[in-house]
Amino acid sequence: MVRVSTSLLAALSLGISQTFAALEVNLDDNESIKKAAKNGRRARLGARYPARTSPDGDYYWWHGGAMWGALLDYQHHTGDNSYERITKEALLFQVGDDRDYNPANWSASMGNDDQAFWGMSAMIAAEVGFSNPPKDQAQWLSLVQAVFNDQTMPERRVTEGPCRGGLRWQAVRYNNGFDYINTIANACYFNMGARLARYTGNQTYVKLVEDTYDTIMRLGYIDKDYNVFDGAHLPDCDKINRAQFSYNIGLLVQGAAALYNMTESDKWKKELDSLLDATLKTFWPEGVAFEISCEGQPGGGCNKDMEAYKGFVHRWLGYTAQLAPHTAAKIKPMIKSSVQAAVKQCTGGPNGRFCGFHWTTGVFDGAIGAGQQMNVLGALTAMLITGNYDAGGKAPTTAKVLGPITGGDRAGAGFLTAIIIAGCLGAFAWMSTDGIAE
Cis peptide bond N-terminal to 50, omega within 30: no
User: For the segment 101-145, what is each residue's pLDDT rounded down to a tens digit?
Assistant: 999 988 888 999 999 999 999 999 999 999 999 999 999 999 999
Q: What is the pTM of this model?
A: 0.85
Measure the CA–CA gap between 360 and 410, rounded to whole angstroms. 44
Amino acid identity of residue 46, one-letter, is G
With cut-offs at 50, 70 and 90, classify the pLDDT of residue 31. confident
Measure the CA–CA gap between 323 and 279, rounded to whole angstroms. 17
Cis peptide bond N-terminal to 235, omega within 30: yes
Amino acid identity of residue 312, one-letter, is F
Range from 3-7, 44-48, 181-185, 404-408 carrying the lowest mean pLDDT: 44-48
What is the C-alpha radius of gyration for the chain, rounded to an integer number of angstroms? 20
- Which pLDDT score is estimated for 60? 87
Q: Specify whether domain 3-425 bears CATH 3.40.50.11540.
A: no
For a pLDDT cut of 70, what percent of the chain falls above it?
76
Contact 364, 347 (CB under 8 A): yes
The average pLDDT across 290-309 equals 87
> What is the domain partition of the chain in residue ranges?
3-425
Residues in the chain: 438
Range from 184-198, 226-240, 372-386 carrying the lowest mean pLDDT: 372-386
With cut-offs at 50, 70 and 90, classify the pLDDT of residue 250. very high
The average pLDDT across 381-401 equals 57
Give the number of C-alpha atoms closer than 13 A to the C-alpha of residue 308, restricted to the C-beta side: 22
